[in-house]
Structure 1
Amino acid sequence: MSRKRKPASLSDIAAASGYSIATVSRAINHHDSVSAEAQRTIDAVVAKLDYHTTNTLQPPKSTTIAVLIPNLSNPFNSSVLEGIQNAAAAQSLNVALLMVKEADTDIDYYLNMLKDANYCGVIALAALPDNQTAYQLNHEIPVVMCSEYLEDTEMSYVGINDNTAAQKATDYLTKIGRHHIALINATMNHKYAREREAGYKQALQRASLTLDPDVILHINSIRYNLALSKVTDLLRSRTEIDAIFASSDIFAIAALEAARHLGRQVPNDLSVVGFDNTFLATVVSPKLTTIKQPAYEIGHEACEILQEKIARKNAPERHEVLEASLLVREST
């Protein structure tokens, strides 16, 4: 008895045709951006491999979008979710939050998560692992990446330029006379962390300041207690540090408490800049200088792009990079 042959996948079509998954997906959906030669080649491979274009996920019948979120510990996400919710409500769409892991995921992980409920689209606040997985998921259901997005992707996303924003923060610290600036960052598996660290380094180089890898901390979760312990140890051992740039307000507020515990006066002895401009930035003392991300607008725009993709199968992918600004308060 012969085994039933496994149906061809999008990856199989890409491998056999020599084109990327993104191009294959566009060709199957007959986007105008695909060249005539590529369309002919892919069409032939589709026919040869008997690829069925019926999606693994059921055709959308509901009006519910899924929002993939990594955790609820970062208050930045609440403002993004508010923007998504308001944009969804304006189009009579419901919003379902799905808690997802960000490590060791693949296309089957997402398909299995989504298959039991009939969603009409996905907004990913959690980082997707790579472009291949993202393209495959987008082929099954409309997807928009929100805040955290992949480098060199053709898929729709809304976010900021994290590198430029980090340069603004670090440039400001150098201009007010700080020379020993530490960085409190997330781990480098996040695109935003890589870009913010690159921006910090570029600003130090521009100011002719020495880059010291030992004053860069990488913290694997945006949690206050975890950051407090690590920043306290850093400030205790490196008394020359006169400024901290933190890649989240949570980390920055931990730095304020670490300084208080060690008797360091903010901003006289130590300047602190955060990132995100969450509600916490104005309820701490001293009030926090921070990079303002347009969190609500990021969520709102992402949902509007998703609505367009749901309504029109061949809607073009869109890349929206919004402006981030520096808000100077009492901590500097």
Structure 2
Amino acid sequence: MPRKPPSPSNRASPPPPQEAPGSNASIAAVAALAGVSTATVSRVLNQSKPVNAETRERVEAAVAQLGYRANPFARSLTSGESRLILVVVPDVANPFFAEIVQGVESVTRRNGYSIVLAIAAGDGPLDAVYDRLTDGVISMAHTQRPRTGGRDLPWVACSEVMTEGSTPYVSIDHRQAAMDAVQYLLNRGHRRIALLTAEEDYAWARQRRAGYETAMARAGLPVDPAYVRVARGTDYGDGSEAAGGLLTLPEPPTAVFAVADTLAIGAIKAFRRAGRRVPEDIAVVGFDNVPLAQVFEPGLTTIAQPLRELGAVAAELLLEQLAGGKPEPRILPHALVVRDSG
């Protein structure tokens, strides 16, 4: 008589599948190797609930053996926290924004967060992927209020002064800084001072223009509309293009205040091509103190913003929000750095 096959309950269970070290191991594989549930592995990795020492050691050993790395996107879906910060910049190539991003990253990294960069796209809402998978936003774009696809993400404005709503921000006093720059030129004896500015979607551009106009008014000097040139953007080429026409005026300016170092450096290049010497024929003062300002010839006289500190403080304000706090806006100090161009 043939023997009956053993019932399923009597069969030996096959060993759990093993994944090679360094492979894209799953949390289930870690749990199987450690002999615990996936929930226990999650508690150990996220330190969300107490786990006894012996169990923790088994889980950590399995993680090390399999080379497991937690997927932040999966963690976002299960825990509601990705530990990813979205940093929105208008231009990734501009050294001004690059310096601020380094300041942001210095703080987020220390606190266990990573950053994701996105280029600003006007005033539209955030991409749904960012909206879903990041914990908060640091924005250097000109939007006056956070707009997301659904969630009310914690939001901090960096460099821009938010005049509407309750969005926390970190910035400098752009109007006063511009007044300081123009006053420096006035003190050097200049009276025909031109303004090289940017599109005034940005609050800082409006505030720097207001500072220029205030300084000129206090000196009893009218602002000649022909001396105010609006660049298409804030790149070096935009500065060259906008400044070139100043030299064709019947009475060209003897000095230029540019609202960004990139515009100022572009202007100097245009003046040189036209055979003008800086500062002997025309002085130039910039704004921001990007790294190139010091090594460019001539060295650029400029308003120094604490760029990395702006980024670091923005990150601190966002982390305070994520911890349930209500941070106050911060205004950081600026300084006039005198070099050779002014």
- TM-score, with structure 1 as normaliser: 0.76
TM superposition shift of 1:256: 1.1
In the alignment, the residues of structure 1 paired with residue 149 and residue 333 of structure 2 have an alpha-carbon distance, to the nearest angstrom, of 28
Q: Which moved more, 1:135-144 or 1:170-179?
A: 135-144
What does 1:198-213 align with in structure 2 at a 5 Å threshold? Answer: 198-213=210-225
The equivalent residue for 2:268 is 256
Residues 134-174 of structure 1: CA deviation (Å, up to 9, x unaligned): 38789711111111232144221001111000000001000
Q: Which of residues 69, 75, 78 in structure 1 aligns to 2:89?
A: 69
- 1:236 is displaced (CA, Å) by 2.6
TM-score, normalization: structure 2? 0.74
Query: What secondary structure sits across from 1:234 in the alignment?
Result: helix
Q: For the Cα contact (< 8 Å) 1:62–1:118, is it kept in 2? A: yes
Per the alignment, do residues 153 and 168 of structure 1 end up closer, same or farther by CA in structure 2, a change over 3 Å counting?
A: farther
Query: For 1:268-299, what per-residue CA distance to the aligned partner results, in whole angstroms no more than 9, with x for missing partners?
Result: 22110000000111121110000000110000
Q: CA deviation at 1:238?
A: 4.7
Distance 1:251 1:138 in 2: 38
* Number of aligned residue pairs: 266
Matched, 1:114 2:130: yes
Instruction: Note the residue ranges of structure 1 that are not aligned, 5 or more in a row.
Output: 1-56
Q: Where do residues 100-249 of structure 1 align in structure 2 (5 Å cutoff)? A: 100-102=120-122, 105-106=123-124, 109-110=125-126, 112=128, 114-115=130-131, 117-128=132-143, 130-131=144-145, 134=146, 140-249=152-261
Q: Give the CA deviation at 1:113.
A: 5.0
Question: Structure 1 residue aligned with 2:313, among 294, 301, 319?
Answer: 301
Provide the residue aligned with 1:316 in structure 2: 326
Is the CA contact 2:231–2:241 (under 8 Å) kept in the aligned structure 1? no
Q: 2:295 matched to which residue of 1?
A: 283
Note closer, same or farther for the CA distance 1:72–1:126 as it changes in structure 2 (3 Å cut).
Answer: same
Whose radius of gyration is greater, 1 or 2?
2
Q: Mind listing any 5+ residue stretches in structure 2 that lack a counterpart? A: 1-75
User: For residue 16 of structure 1, what is the aligned residue in structure 2?
Assistant: none
Q: How far off its partner does 1:101 sit?
A: 1.3
Task: Give the aligned partner of residue 69 of structure 2.
Answer: none
The equivalent of 2:46 in structure 1 is none
Q: Could you tell me which residue of structure 2 aligns to residue 79 of structure 1?
A: 99
CA deviations over 1:234-257 (Å, ceiling 9, x no partner): 223354310000001111111211
Q: Which has the higher contact order (CA 8 A, sep 6+)?
A: 1
| Equivalent residue letter for 2:136 | G
Quick check: 2:90–2:119 contact (8 Å CA) kept in 1?
A: yes
How many Å separate the matches in 1 of 2:221 and 2:161?
A: 31
Question: In the alignment, what sits opposite 1:331?
Answer: 341
Give the letter for the 2:281 counterpart. Answer: D
Once the two structures are TM-superposed, the CA of residue 266 in structure 1 deviates from its matched residue by 1.3
SS at match of 1:140: coil
Partner of residue 98, structure 1? 118
- Corresponding letter in the other structure for 1:207: A
Counterpart secondary structure, 1:110: coil
Aligned Cα root-mean-square deviation (Å): 2.0
What per-residue deviation string (whole Å, max 9, x for no partner) do you get for residues 170-209 of structure 1?
A: 0100011001000000011111110000000000011111
**Identity level (%):** 33
Distance in 1 between residues matched to 2:127 and 2:279, nearest whole Å:
49
